[in-house]
């Protein structure tokens, strides 16, 4: 990977997003982090010698303005990691439509808008870049309490395939990563509850949760020339979860 690559990671202020930024920085990319927490994005990017910006991925105009700023101040994005995401858990029968659309807005529509805008710039500049979307095992298996999240990640999986087909003639690859149970702030409650952790481990053949850098390394691989003949795929980094059809 050339140091000339400019990598934009959305939702990169912490957790899996920041781990992706670290892995890409280690491969020589110039890091740009966008996050709804603008101060967090700036601080996280500074650790890697990059730039941070505030951006709500549910706001399409803000996403387009973000790319304008990056192009004016840093350069054209050649690696895009669509990591920003929210879940909004709740009972299916009581879930407000507004919460459902909020999740779709960030996780799916935001991913589409960013991918389309990044791809337009890459095509205009003749850049054979890479897009890596953050999907989930919940693109394949469902949890009733996070219906919107599951729907959004299934959409991300199909968007990844469609974008890959559309952009392949331009030399732009589009792939996704589908994490299983990863040790992030979102799992803090599970980690603190022995019974909840026992349930997670019962459906994880490798017998442990993953760490964010393990996801970041898969993202960095898909963004690199080592994955030069891979496009339209989702790699599930889940400790073997999807291969199981029973729990002990």
Neighbouring C-beta atoms of residue 56, cutoff 10 Å = 18
pLDDT reported for residue 200: 83
Tell me the average pLDDT across 153-173. Answer: 98
pLDDT of 248 higher than 60: no
pLDDT of 99 higher than 70: yes
Active site residues: 149
Tell me the average pLDDT across 134-148. Answer: 95
Check: pTM over 0.75? Answer yes or no: yes
C-beta of residue 106 within 8 angstroms of C-beta of residue 207: no
Alpha carbons 64 and 90: distance in angstroms, whole number: 31
In this structure, whether the domain defined by 6-241 belongs to CATH 1.10.3720.10 is answered with: no
pLDDT of 152 higher than 50: yes
Alpha carbons 10 and 130: distance in angstroms, whole number: 14
pLDDT reported for residue 247: 62
Alpha carbons 83 and 32: distance in angstroms, whole number: 13
**What spatial distance separates the first Cα and last Cα of the chain, rounded to whole Å?**
43
pLDDT of 3 higher than 60: no
- Residues 6 or more apart from 167 whose CB is under 8 A from it? 119, 131, 173, 174
Tell me the average pLDDT across 124-143. Answer: 97
Owner of token pair 């349930």: 199
C-beta of residue 128 within 8 angstroms of C-beta of residue 172: yes
Tell me the average pLDDT across 16-27. Answer: 98
Instruction: Give the neighbor-by-neighbor strand order of the sheet with 130-134.
Output: 51-54, 30-35, 6-10, 79-82, 130-134, 173-179, 234-237
Q: What are the extents of the domains in the chain?
A: 6-241
pLDDT bucket at 191, cuts 50 / 70 / 90: low
Neighbouring C-beta atoms of residue 161, cutoff 10 Å = 17
CA atoms within 13 A on the CB side of 1: 24
């Amino acid at each position: 990977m050339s140091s000339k690559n400019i990598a934009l990671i959305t939702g990169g202020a912490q957790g899996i997003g920041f781990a992706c930024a670290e892995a890409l920085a280690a491969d020589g990319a110039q890091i740009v982090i966008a996050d709804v927490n603008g101060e967090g994005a700036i601080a996280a990017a500074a650790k890697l010698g990059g730039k941070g910006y505030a951006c709500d991925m549910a706001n399409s105009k803000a996403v387009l303005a973000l790319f304008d700023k990056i192009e004016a101040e840093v350069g054209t994005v050649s690696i895009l990691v669509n990591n920003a995401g929210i879940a909004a858990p709740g009972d299916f029968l009581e879930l407000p439509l507004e919460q459902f659309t909020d999740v779709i807005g960030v996780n799916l529509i935001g991913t589409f808008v960013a991918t389309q805008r990044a791809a337009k710039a890459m095509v205009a500049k003749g850049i054979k870049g890479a897009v890596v979307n953050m999907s989930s095992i919940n693109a394949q298996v469902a949890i009733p309490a996070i219906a919107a999240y599951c729907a959004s990640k299934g959409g991300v999986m199909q968007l990844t395939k469609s974008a890959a087909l559309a952009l392949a003639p331009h030399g732009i690859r589009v792939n996704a990563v589908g994490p299983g149970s990863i040790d992030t702030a979102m799992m803090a409650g599970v980690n603190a509850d022995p019974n909840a952790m026992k349930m997670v481990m019962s459906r994880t053949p490798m017998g442990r949760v993953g760490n964010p850098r393990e996801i970041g390394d898969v993202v960095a691989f898909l963004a690199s020339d080592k994955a030069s003949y891979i496009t339209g795929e989702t790699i599930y980094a889940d400790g073997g979860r999807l291969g199981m059809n029973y729990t002990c």
